[in-house]
């Protein structure tokens, strides 16, 4: 049983904690937080021991009625691995703490690539993280791009990727973010940082990306053009993507015409926090002209990286091969929307219970 600590219990951290706890081969031994806000109370309700990320603030937790199990360095000392889910730039500062205690760590995509030995996407380079001490799970957008590029590259070869990323302005709780009423080229300079980030996973890939930010909190939407190595048909590409567990090809006829209805689908299905761990590719958008493939996909920024963090732990401890780890993660979480979108989580869990 791998003993996991989560440092930084916000949007990503709380989801990672629940996903780890749902696995049979790992457990949460504590989470570190800076303040006793509503998420701290949720952590307590879920039974996660609470550690003070900033020692001087420990008394605030006691005042809020939250028992503190210790300070963050105690959590780091006790854990087999820390998943660092602190805001961009803080993870880099924390690396010294992890090194001091010889505790391996996973960082998130807001950190620069050189924070870790390996940038990770389970589908694309699982084995690169084997036995690594420091791994960075790439950002939500890079994860979304990598999951599509990997099967295309394997099946047809990829000559060039061009992607326009329409990014949500902030997460639902980030009321200080924007824009509120604007459409921002962001970054204005082309290419955006996403292309180079994808190249941390596919070093030889030709890719240009453009980014925008819009007044939405739901999801990112990508418009993708991939020049493939072979002439293909749309139907062939569609089948290839449908065969990927972490890609949901949205069927025609469901009336899902945007990110809002995708989120409704997840909520109707009873998914925790309305999460959509899969890339959501509109089936109707998959179009081919010679070797040029086009498609639209929506990426749920708050949750697509969550299964990747679980797989990164298994890779770093050399617990499973890629396929076994990804399948186990997916089944425990309920990843994989299939025929009946209204009941997929329960169905996936039941299948797993049958298997084990
Ligand atoms: N929210 C998103 O859409 C995605 C975020 N990421 C990356 O994940 C990382 C975390 O992002 P979020 O969860 O969105 O941030 P967040 O702001 O929701 O959560 C970060 C948490 O860390 C806490 N924190 C701040 N300083 C700390 C410290 N010194 N020690 C311990 N905890 C501290 C904050 O109070 C907060 O609870 C970033 O690198 C981000 O770029 C990656 C994919 C998607
Ligand atoms: O890494 C992300 O996006 P990005 O790859 O577009 O920079 C995550 O969605 C977090 O982005 P944020 O820095 O806008 O919170």
Q: Which residues contact 325 (CB under 8 A, 6 or more apart)?
A: 122, 126, 310, 311, 314, 315, 319
Can 85 be counted among the known catalytic residues? Answer: no
pLDDT of residue 263: 96
pLDDT of residue 352: 45
When the pLDDT of each residue in the chain is averaged and rounded to a whole number, the result is 95
pLDDT of residue 340: 46
253-258: long-range contacts (C-beta < 8 A, 24 or more apart)?
Answer: 254/341, 256/282, 258/298
- Assign domain 2-138+305-335 one CATH number from 3.40.50.10860, 3.40.50.150, 3.40.50.920, 3.40.50.720: 3.40.50.720
**Which one from 140, 152, 219, 286 is the annotated catalytic residue?**
140
- Please work out whether the CB of residue 4 comes within 6 Å of at least one atom of ligand 1: no
- Tokens, residue 166: 């329409």
pLDDT of residue 247: 96
Rg of the chain over CA atoms, in angstroms?
A: 20
Take atom 4 of ligand 2 and give the residue whose Cα is closest.
141
CA–CA separation, 64 and 226 (whole Å) = 52
Q: Which residues are annotated as a binding site?
A: 11-12, 110, 139-141, 168, 194-195, 301
Instruction: Indicate the CATH number for domain 140-299.
Output: 3.30.360.10
| Series of mean pLDDT values for 10-residue runs along the chain (356 residues) | 98 98 98 98 97 96 97 98 98 98 98 97 98 97 98 98 98 97 97 98 98 98 98 97 96 95 94 96 97 98 98 98 97 77 51 49
Q: Report the alpha-carbon angle 250-253-259, nearest 5.
A: 45
**C-alpha count within 13 angstroms, C-beta hemisphere, residue 275:** 25
Report the candidate in 309, 344, 325 with the shortest Cα–Cα distance to residue 82.
309
pLDDT of residue 337: 67
As separate numbers, helices (DSSP H) first and strands (DSSP E) second, the chain gives 13, 16
For the stretch 35-57, pLDDT in tens is 999 999 999 999 999 999 999 99
- Please work out whether the CB of residue 274 comes within 6 Å of at least one atom of ligand 2: no
Contact in structure between 17 and 106 (CB atoms under 8 Å): no
pLDDT of residue 344: 53
Taking the CB of residue 187, how many other CB atoms lie within 10 A of it?
Answer: 14
pLDDT of residue 313: 98
- Please work out whether the CB of residue 195 comes within 6 Å of at least one atom of ligand 2: no
ipTM: 0.96
- Please work out whether the CB of residue 301 comes within 6 Å of at least one atom of ligand 2: yes
Global confidence as pTM: 0.96
The partner residues of 4 in beta bridges, in order of sequence, read 28, 81
Domain ranges of the chain: 2-138+305-335, 140-299
Residue of 12, 167, 178 with the most ligand 2 atoms within 8 Å of its CB, for mutation: 167
């Amino acid at each position: 049983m791998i003993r996991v600590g989560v440092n930084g219990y916000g949007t990503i951290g709380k989801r990672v904690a629940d996903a780890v706890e749902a696995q049979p081969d790992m457990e949460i031994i504590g989470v570190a937080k800076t303040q006793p806000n509503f998420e701290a109370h949720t952590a307590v309700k879920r039974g996660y021991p609470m550690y003070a990320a900033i020692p001087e603030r420990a008394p605030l937790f006691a005042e809020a009625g939250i028992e503190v199990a210790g300070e963050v360095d105690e959590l780091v000392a006790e854990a087999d691995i820390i998943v660092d889910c602190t805001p961009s730039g803080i993870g880099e500062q924390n690396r010294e703490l992890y090194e001091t205690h010889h505790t391996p760590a996973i960082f998130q995509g807001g950190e620069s690539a050189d924070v870790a030995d390996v940038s990770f996407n389970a589908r694309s380079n699982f084995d690169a993280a084997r036995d690594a001490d420091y791994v960075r799970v790439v950002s939500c957008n890079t994860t979304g791009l990598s999951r599509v590029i990997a099967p295309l590259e394997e099946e047809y070869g990829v000559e060039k990727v061009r992607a326009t990323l329409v990014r949500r302005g902030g997460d639902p709780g980030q009321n200080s973010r924007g824009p509120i009423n604007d459409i921002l080229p962001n970054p204005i300079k082309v290419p955006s940082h996403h292309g180079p980030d994808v190249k941390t996973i596919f070093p030889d890939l030709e890719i240009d990306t453009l980014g925008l930010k819009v007044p939405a909190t739901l999801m990112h939407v990508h418009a993708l053009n991939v020049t493939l190595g072979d002439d293909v048909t749309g139907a062939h590409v569609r089948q290839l993507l449908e065969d990927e567990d972490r890609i949901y090809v949205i069927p025609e006829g469901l009336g899902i015409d945007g990110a809002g209805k995708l989120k409704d689908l997840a909520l109707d299905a009873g998914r925790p926090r309305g999460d959509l761990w899969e890339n959501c590719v509109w089936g109707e958008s998959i179009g081919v002209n010679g070797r040029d493939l086009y498609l639209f996909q929506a990426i749920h920024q708050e949750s697509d990286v969550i299964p990747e963090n679980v797989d990164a732990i298994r890779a770093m401890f050399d617990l499973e091969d890629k396929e076994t780890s990804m399948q186990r993660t997916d089944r425990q979480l309920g990843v994989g929307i299939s025929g009946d979108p209204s009941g997929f989580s329960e169905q996936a869990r039941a299948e797993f219970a049958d298997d084990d």
